Chains A and B, each alone.
Chain A
Amino acid sequence: MIKKQKKYVLPENLQNKIDENLKKYPSDHRQSAILYALRLTQNDNGGWIREQHMRAVADYLKIDYIAVYEVATFYSMLKLKPVGKSLVSVCDNISCKLKGADNLLSFIEEYLQIKTGETTSDGLITLERAECLGACVNAPSMIVNDEYQENLTKDKVQQILDNLSNGDNH
């Protein structure tokens, strides 16, 4: 007999936050809260979104699942595949590239022994390449767990990575 998986419902604390967010929009435009709801759900579920989460968000906002799916697949900060405990997004777009982002990215790959786009074998760190982060005058820059890290040097990066590997993700 196949045991039916229990349906995921948004926990109450998320529901409350989404309710609060919905106040920003006209009451007949609940869909405007979708990015907020998806990011919240993502953060609450190990940094990535499964189908059941999209279904729960759809139910809660009273919109079609496909509308949520369309959105979830469009935005780069919404992750549909597993990510490590920490997410490191390194910008190598033009201003950062001119300031040595390519070398920095290679250094990180070597240091973590993974390729860009991969997660370390201990599941602690996912490395990704980012588009311009809007911190170009402090290049090279990256975002680690939602926090900007700017004017990067190898030493600075190494220290940040060491902290992450030690389980300190702030």
Chain B
Amino acid sequence: MSLALTDDERMIRDSAEGFFAEHAPVAELRRLRDAKDPVGFDRALWVKMAEMGFAGVAIPEAFGGAGLGMVAAGLIQEAIGRNLSLSPFLSTAILSATILARGGSEEQKAALLPRMAAAELVVALAADEAPRHAPAHVATRAEASGNGFRLTGTKPFVLDGHVADRLIVAARTSGDDRDPAGITLFLVDPKAEGVTVERRSMVDSRNAARVTLHAVQVDGADVIGAVGEGYALLEAALDAGRACLAAEMLGVADRAFAMTLDYLKTREQFGRPIGSFQALQHRAAHLFCEIELAKSVTLKALRALDEGDARAPVFASLAKAKVGEVARLATNEGVQMHGGIGMTDDADIGFYMKRARAAAETFGDSAFHGDRIARIMRY
């Protein structure tokens, strides 16, 4: 399908941009950070996002969602990136919604998806265990016990884990610690006995938690999809998450660049605007080109996911790898070109750099995804 946005998509983009600029601009991130807010986002905002149809963007209409798909989800997350808006959008509306919509039983879907779309539930994905992304690396064990399983293990980086009403936990029912086969996904109540949740404060003021599971009893009905076959489901959700993170990083890069351009036009040294210096002009022009490339790979990845294209994993990795690098360049150049001001907490540009770093690190950085592309293409 065309790599131009349709009229409907442009409307979604514009309404998302307007919404986040009004309700959750950078000042709001600053306020929540300074207040050391225990939730880490504004619950009222999340409810408004549900009213706009954003929380249910990837949830089928039959389960109370808007059923708009990944391009729409990406456009929303791009606006989130531009404004650095805080919400459980990625954890709940993308990752968990994808897993449940694809792999959940009718009961699970009916019980959870409508409430997620309505912003009544935050559902977090507890998958990664190593600091560097390795989705098959799951040492958390699920031992058969009664008519269910008993889970033991540690998940050190669970996005929105500290406020989650439900967790989706990847645990091993068979195989070695790094085996893609033998991974099973479970729904876990964070209030269940044996679950400890510890909030971790992060450089970008987002929410993550260390979740420790100690002989946590779950029921057979809490298994999502088939036992031992959770990896494909997990990868599908991760690819959706990676493409949306690429979209977010695109928003981050684009806004950081716009702020930098403004500064280049207004700040004067040597009696003229610093944007008249060719050393800076060329770097800005190069960055412009890189951002154009970032737009293309992001949209391609989102489209491929919507179309069920068999190459969607490659395009998701292409987007995550490329846009991660572009966002890093855009925000680092942004700080540099702001001079001393760029290093101050008062300037917003630093927030963008922190978020670019965190988003690039989440679910695989450029090195991870470059290697993944090569492996899929067999070289």
Answer whether A and B are interacting partners: no
